[in-house]
């Protein structure tokens, strides 16, 4: 059971150990952690409407998540992103975020951040800032209230925009993530670019990823970002940028607004050659690649004893299996996902 507060270790960072390097010489410096598979939305490209979530008993406790994250920080992870599902719906999750903030304050971690749907930001924005979070990603695929409700099934645009405003007021930098969906929101991308420019937010566009059964046909959703970019260039001047956040997005600067625009293209132009990321689920399963099924169980060595020796051995063995790249495709013949698990389980 989650406690209301995680006992905070000494403020110094974790004992330094050898960095994590995969078989292709890539340093693993970025860990994404799904703290829950649950969400208060049911976005049409992410989940089926009638989702079956994991039993709460299967989830790692907040204390266990803290220990696992700290083990990765000790191995050279410099960026830690909390995801879900929706991370802010997990009970007492702020105690975990506040505890992990010690690694930012000690200098062991460059960045502690999270990806959220924005529904809970009005409640937690100030606390996030106080805990050491400086930047967040907010998923927002439409600025039209009716379309937003249809895309999220359960979401309200007014609530999310209020949360974004609260985060901005708290001093958090905000990047908007929008999944480009053919015939759904492709006519809004110009509007999103303009709105983000006006509000001072970066924007990243994402191709839909073939993960999990979503009660629909992904071939109808897929919109190549190469096409989107070509359309945008009819209105906007897109200047190449060397800006990087540690993630897979490739950025340009929109000259007319001064804002940054990123493209995440797992299908038309994958980003595997520079992959520095691994993903940890809320059950302690480590996925070395978002687009592969190979995984390592870290819950067993975590719970085996109080020492982290077995845990570090399991992490080393897992990183030694990190593949060169993913196998994402849109399967138009079988209309099945390339990966069976839902994005909400892996941690987007």
CA within 13 Å, CB half, 192: 28
Mean pLDDT, range 197-217, rounded to an integer: 78
Q: What are phi and psi of 264, to 5 degrees?
A: -110, 115
> Is the pLDDT at 191 greater than 50, yes or no?
yes
Contact 347, 279 (CB under 8 A): yes
Among the listed residues 267, 249, 138, the one whose alpha carbon sits nearest the alpha carbon of residue 199: 138
H or E stretch covering 139: strand 135-139
Give residue for tokens 């077995």.
310
Separation in Å, CA 10 to CA 49, 99, 197: 44, 10, 42
The structural domains of the chain, with segments of one domain joined by +, span 30-346
Which two tokens mark 142? 């439409």
Residues 6+ apart with CB under 8 A from 104: 110, 111, 112, 132
- Which candidate, 203, 61, 202, 38, places its Cα nearest to that of 120? 38
The pLDDT mean for the chain works out to: 87
pLDDT in tens, 208-222: 876 445 455 556 778
Q: What distance lies between CA 345 and its chain's CA centroid?
A: 11
The whole-angstrom distance between residue 12's C-alpha and the CA centroid of its chain comes to 27
Q: Which of 86, 175, 82, 61 is nearest to 132 (CA)?
A: 82
Is the distance from CB of 13 to CB of 108 less than 8 angstroms? yes
- What backbone torsions phi and psi does residue 289 show, to the nearest 5 degrees? -150, 135
Cβ-based neighbour number of residue 10 at 10 Å: 7
Q: So what CATH class is 30-346?
A: alpha beta
Report the distance separating Cα 223 and Cα 156, nearest Å.
25
Q: In sequence order, what DSSP letters do the residues of 68-97 get, joined into one string?
A: HHHHHHHTT--EEEEESS-GGGSTTHHHHH
**Residue 280 pLDDT exceeds 50:** yes
Q: Across-strand partners of 108?
A: none
pLDDT digits (tens, 9 = 90+) for 121-160: 999 999 999 999 999 999 999 999 999 999 999 999 999 9
Higher pLDDT, 195 or 215: 195
The average pLDDT across 92-103 equals 98
């Amino acid at each position: 059971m989650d406690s209301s507060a995680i006992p905070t270790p000494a403020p110094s960072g974790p004992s330094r150990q050898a960095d994590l390097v995969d078989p292709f010489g890539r340093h693993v410096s970025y860990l994404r952690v799904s703290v829950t598979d649950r969400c208060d939305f049911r976005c049409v490209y992410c989940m089926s409407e009638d989702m079956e979530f994991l039993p709460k008993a299967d989830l790692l406790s907040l204390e266990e998540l803290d220990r696992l994250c700290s083990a990765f920080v000790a191995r050279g992870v410099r960026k830690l992103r909390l995801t879900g599902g929706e991370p802010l719906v997990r009970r007492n999750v702020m105690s975990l975020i506040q505890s992990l903030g010690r690694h930012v304050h000690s200098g062991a971690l460059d960045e502690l951040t999270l990806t959220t749907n924005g529904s809970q930001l009005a409640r937690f924005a100030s606390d996030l800032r106080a805990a050491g979070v400086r930047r967040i990603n907010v998923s927002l695929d439409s600025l039209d209230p009716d379309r937003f409700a249809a895309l999220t099934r359960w979401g309200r645009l007014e609530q999310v925009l209020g949360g974004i405003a609260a985060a901005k007021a708290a001093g958090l930098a905000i990047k908007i993530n929008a999944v480009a969906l053919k015939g759904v929101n492709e006519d809004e991308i110009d509007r999103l670019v303009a709105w983000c420019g006006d509000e001072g937010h970066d924007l990243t566009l994402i191709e839909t990823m073939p993960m999990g059964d979503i009660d629909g046909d992904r071939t109808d959703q897929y919109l190549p970002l190469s096409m989107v970019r070509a359309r945008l260039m009819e209105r906007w001047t897109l200047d190449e940028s060397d800006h990087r956040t540690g993630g897979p997005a490739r950025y340009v600067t929109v000259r007319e607004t001064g804002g940054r625009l990123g493209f995440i293209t797992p299908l038309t132009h994958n980003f595997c050659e520079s992959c520095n990321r691994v993903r940890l689920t809320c059950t302690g399963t480590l996925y070395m690649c978002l687009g592969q099924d190979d995984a390592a169980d870290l819950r067993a060595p975590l719970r085996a004893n109080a020492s982290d020796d077995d845990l570090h051995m399991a992490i080393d063995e897992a990183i030694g299996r990190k593949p060169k790249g993913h196998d994402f495709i849109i399967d138009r013949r079988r209309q099945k996902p390339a990966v069976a698990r839902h994005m909400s389980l892996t941690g987007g």
